[in-house]
Structure 1
Amino acid sequence: MTGGTAPPQDVADTGAALSSFPVRLAAARYRARQVLWVEGAWPVLLPVLGGLAAYLIAGLLGLPQGLPDLAHAALLLALAGGAAAWIVWRGRRVTAPTPAGVDRRIERASGLAHRPLQTLADHPAGADAAPHDAAARVERVALWDAHLRRTGRAIGRLRAGWPRLSLAAHDPWRVGYVLLPGLLAALLWAGGDAPGRLEAAFWPGLDDPGAPRPHIQAWITPPSYAPGAPVFLDDRTGRATVPQGAVLSISVTDLRGRPSLRVVATGSASGPAVGPDRFRALGAESWSADVPLLASASLTLRGRGRSFSRWTVTVLPDAAPTVAWGAGAGAGRGEWRTRLPYAARQAYGITSLRAELRLAGGEKGGAPRVLTVPIPIDGHPKDVTGIAMPDLSADPWAGEEVVGRLVATSASGHEGVSPEARFHLGARLFRSPMAKAVLDVRRRVATGRERRTAAASDLMALGETPDPFQNDAGLLLNLTSAAALLESPDVDPHAAVDQAVARLWYLALEIEDGRQGGSAAARAALDVRAAQDAVAAQLNRMRALGAQGQSPEEQAELQRRMETLRQAIMRRMQALAQQAVQSHTAIPDLQGLTRNGDQALSRMMQQMQDAARNGRSAEAMQALQRMEDMLEHMRSATPQDLADMARQMQARQQANEQRDALQDLIRRQSGLLDHSQSRLDRVRHAQERAEAARRATQDEMPGQGVDGDLASMPTAELLRRLGLRPPPDMQGPPADEPQPGDAGPAQGPDAPPSGDASAPGAPNPPNEEVRHADRAVQHALGRALDELGQEFKGLTGKDAPSGFADAGGAMKDARAALAQGNDTAAAEAQRKALADLQKGDQQMRQAMKGSGKGGATSFLPGFTSGSGEGGQGEPGGSGDSAQGSDQGSDQGGDQADDQHGDRDPLGRRTGEGKDGLDSDTHVPDTMSRERAREIEQELRRRDSDRTRPREELDYLDRLLKSF
């Protein structure tokens, strides 16, 4: 080849350009091919895009959303199916781009002239022929390579260009020119709701943001264990604090689709925050759900793609009750009841409380026994504290040390357990050695400390003793039957022990009762015990039945059993009376004692029945415990105890008579005070009438005295002339009343004291006769008071109350004042005497309560001397029978005081005194209208004078406002 060669640098650059050119060309051809595909598919997709634009416009306007969900879905499926069919049908006419077409597209988009890409793809002519001249062939190849390098250097950046999407060429009806502005206008009209509307348009079952809200009602019903009013929630947002287990009720109407509840737990609970929350259909567009609330959570009510309401609910956990033992659990020495002090608390109330006891040392053999003791409580208290006094002396563990815990059950069913406590159970006192031996065998076999066969041998050995078993065939038969039950291999061991334990308990009681009063007393005690157990069983049954336990049938059964118990107790009383006769024990007023005891017992039973009828189970059980205390005292009572009780009741009767006598004396002394006070009142009224008449006479003569000049008269006096009482800050002496220091004709050194009925020696025969009679009565009252003090000392062995001596001195002063005709001094002395008598009455009551002769009896605490207030002792104690007697006389004293209810503690009538309320204000009826008008005008003139005192002006303003 002729000519020079290219520079080395140009050859290197050309080589680098040619080496990267195939990569650039392949990328450009790929892009060009995609563009040609789009341009080919444009005529096919243009109708589909037009339909889509039309549907978007309809969706922005909310048209598809207004269709039923099924119709909406059908419309979407039809449009999608039509578009797919159109694309498939017209897509067959779209041909794939050819390589030549791709290159032509690149050359046109890149602005390449003379088709350089086609040149690069050509071959030199004759390249495939057999070469005849090797040198010519080499020269030809070199020449062609140089041509390609020049062509490659001439090609710059390769472009595929953008698709040419002509709307006019494929839209002869120019529909696109309408759809595009319409779509833009619809977007502007929808505004911020456009995304939501478009989502709802393409998703059947969703509402756009502009759709009407459904009607929502939501409330929270507290659980049954925490009764209260429902908590209503706002239909949009709200907060509430409710107990655990409350139920959220939601009612949604005017909503076509099923709503849902989105729950986000906000507390630390590990479990679910709510229970089942699925809505149930109530109608075409009505839904309801009841959702249990288990933990704190944020709840969002959603429906058809929208959030309607958001509520934050704080759930208070339902904690278990807190329960603890009080101080002094167990029984002390000699006590047969067991103290179970308790304190329990729960926010929503406690429904039941019980004590679970286990033997401290444990039982030998068999499963450990748990003694459950129900503790009665009334209602469902949130905080309860008290002391239960159950009788556990019949249990084989009586007297043993036990480990106990309290278990409280809340209204929601949660249980709280207290720490354990150690204490001893109460046990009855038995004096019979044989009864103690039987109980000892019973305790050993019940606690597993002795085998059944060994216990049976011990019982048979006891039967060999001459007394009491050899003298009473019934006792011996009961003993041998219990021993045979323990030895029998055909009886379940646990059942045999349980039956033997029960039989041995009653056997020990019968032995103890027979030791004191013989077989008749033992049978009477057995009847009382059986009737008592029947009443207790009926009360427990009524308590367990709840509301059904208040039925007439259950009440009738309780009344029948209590009547049986009352009759059994009276037979026991008769047995004691017969023992007293046989032992020649003198019992004063035996018939009265029996009658009063029957009445007190009937009252106690009536109280028990009323408490059970009204659902007060705890109060009924307490009444039963008081009766059990009484029966326990009766079990160990002797004829001498009965005689002591009769004497105590006589002493109480005498004390009541003394108090009644003192009340009568107080009433009579109050009557004397009434007489003196009435005389003073008559004198005061006469003076007031005379003063009113004098003022009326002066008013008829306006030219005389101070009445002639109203302008110079004090305001207080003007008010008096009108019949009005001036206020305290305007009080002053009347204009015609002598001033201090003036010597009036009615005041002199020998004048009688103010308020006296008359001066000494003044002729007033009626008052003198009444004074003489009152003086005689006053002297008699003084002597009666002295005799009452002597009787009190003889009855109690104590000096008479100090109030008696003070009252006697005041009575002497009253007699002296009555003798002098000084009613004022007499009334003051009588008031003092009355106050001292009342003080003495209180002192006498306290002395009677503290006296040994008037104190509580040690036998039958419910039987009092007819006061009607027996049996008020604490459970397990002896009661306070004197309290009832005191209360009876207290009531009598109150009734006596009620007869003089118009007096204060000093015996004065209510309203007595300078500013006392009365109806004796005198308004002169002779004042002329002209004079009254003049006084009114003068008062108005003074009301307009702003220089007068502020208090006076305020009073006149209020006074004249009504005129």
Structure 2
Amino acid sequence: MADPRDDMPETQTVETEALAAIRRVRRTAFLSMTFERLWPLVLPLVILVALFAATSWFGLFPRMPGWLHMALLAAFAIAGLVALYLPTRLRIPKRSEIDHRLEAANLLVHEPISVQADAMASGQHDPFAKALWEEHRRRMADKLKDLQGGAPRPRIPERDPWGLRAGVALLFVTALAYASGPSGGSLSDAFHIRYGAGGVPPRIDAWVTPPRYTGRAPIFLTAQTNSENTSFTVPQGSVVAVRVIGGSGNETLTATGADGTGRDVQPAENDAATPSNGQAPAASSPTGVQNARNFQFPLESQTGLTLSGSGTLAKWSFAVIPDQPPLIRFTKDPSRALNGTLELSYSIDDDYGAAKGRADIVRAEKPAAAAHPLYKAPDVPLVLPRRGAASKEATTSKDITEHPWAGSEVRLTLAATDDAGQEGRSETKTLVLPERPFSNPLARAVVEQRRILALDANQRDHVLDMLSAITLRPEDTIKNATHYLALRSVYSRLKFARNDDQLRDVVAYMWQVARGIEDGQLTAAERRLRQAQEALKQAIQNGASPEEIEKLMAELRQAMQDFLREFAQRQQQNPNAQQALDPNMQMLTQKDLDRMMDQIENLAKQGSRDQAQQLLSQLENMMNNLQMGQNQQGQQGQQGQQGQMRQQMNKLGNLMRRQQEMMNETFRLDQQMQGQQGQEGQEGEQGRQQGQNGQQGQNGQMTQEQLAEAMRKLQQGQGQLQSELQQLMDGLKGMGMEPGQEMGEAGDSMGRAGEALGRAEGGEATDQQANALDALRRGARNMMQQMQQAMGENGPNGNRGQQSPDNRDPLGRPRTNTGPDFGDSVKLPGEIDIQRARQILEEIRRRLGNSLSPQVEKDYLERLLKFD
């Protein structure tokens, strides 16, 4: 039997390794058990610090009254002392506790770790017992391999079953992010205690910014001039801005409606309460000032605002002026100008001026269910009246003769939109869109087929059949081979068109062919004149440079001279030309044409494109007058009756002129009579004696008797005018025309004026003469309408293709062959007005370019340019 002591070295080695492993694992277990016992004691302190930091970073301390700030700070201090005391109750783990923890963590039985430190109680001298003990220790040491100390288990969920520690952590992270913003606080805020409820006295800045389009200046509610006012009237859409600097930081703004309901206005996120339109001046807060709060509130109806903090800080009430939608209506029926343009006369009335306008056009005849139009309705933007001008009337001329819808019956409605987005619409007019007149039958046929194809692409086969029929026997219908080839080209293009774009190209090509067929009849001078007019029109629309405008105007002048020279030669060769001329017709001289073209050039160079285009359109009308007048010479039907009517209208115009002169003379005599009475009151008895003796004063004025005698002479003239008016009315009745009620009113007013002149009552006589003159003008307009109807002038243009719709020449003056001037003649801008406008524009631009000019002045000047 071997001696157990032979294994002693091996047993000692195993024991040594086991003890070393136990020491290492004991240290790990010691740290884990210490953390498990320390963390529950330290966690309240960590939570308390996180809550304190979150409260500071959210900026809550500056917003608290002083007593609450101090109470909360004291609560944090007491809680902090308690939290600091808890870690002192830490109990250090003992060795037996550590061994027991290791044995439990590694699932060891029979206490193998404790055995390594134990000793034999007895039998130390017994070799067998000792060997047995050592064998037991060795076997227990073998179980101590790969010992684990175990993870710490603080058991926090048992102490916090609701997980409140997670909410504190989330609050801490959120407050840390919020602290980096402009409204965040800092830890130092907790130690800056503001005694009292209000802290720093608040500074209040408040203003109202009306919408930009109203042109009104902001209203400073807190200015010294408005400090005692609490009620204000502002336009709808204004924005009230309130800024509070300092104070308690808990100020609130409450808006109360007309029905008494109130709601709180939330403060703005940014630090500068500047409305979106950028018009309100933002009050800047001094550096380091805390608790700056900004409020914005739009005013759409009657509203009261109350700013509250430590009591009521300010209170205002606002009466809102509603923004009415624009009112647009026709002043005249849509008409066709001589040059083919569509003329729209209308008035637009809006609170602050319309922002844009348009003419909505729809086809009067409902298209077929399967119709496939290639073009939309023509776009006709409206010219807006100048903002702030007394007259709300405006006129828009749009050349749509090239549009495929030209010649179609449509329904036209005017629409105007203001800056607030409100829209107003006019009544609907039914009319035929103006189209370019074609005298050549072949050109008219091409244009007609072009319109059919443009309004419905499904009619392509029909148009092909019509083109084929037109070109079936060209030797009989088409004399010009070029025209025949052009029509066959249209046929080929239309036949091989595969999509809408190609069809639209065919429609455009058909228009070019029709123009080529028609314009081929024009002379070279007429063609150059039209080309020069079209080039100048395009240059004005595109805003060409003054040099280019000057060059095109020179070409237009030369083309105009060539055309007039050719026109004069044709007039001399026409034997009926002199007989066709009306002796009462108002003539246009070369001086008038030169002045008109100079005005077009000056307006175009200054950038007044609308006025330049209007004058250019009038010039085209004048040229069309000459051409159409030449084509209609020799047609003298109904000249006898028309001449008599014109003679009667001329008599009426002469009667109105004499009545005007008599009214002026009556007014002058009445003023002298009143002056004589005042002078007699001052000069006394001597002046009265001179008046009785029929002598004149030292200043050469007539006496009272002489003035009365002059008025009695005027009475005779007034009676003669009344008699001539009666004869005129009888003559009109003999021609089958009804003078109307206005003529009778004029005769009655003339009679009362004569009676007043007989009594030397100049003031009453002047009033009656003015009434008579007004009645004559109204009667003249009525006679004009009856005369036009008698001549067969029905519809918007009647049969007067060579006259403008309002009986005016191309320069805007009334024609002498259509009656007297009723006092509404159009005046073109004079040279002084143009120069003055140019000087004002240059001065505005110079002030805008000056960097030293205040921003308020620049904003005002920019608004002036926009209004212009």
TM (normalized to structure 1)?
A: 0.43
- Structure number, greater radius of gyration: 1
TM (normalized to structure 2)?
A: 0.47
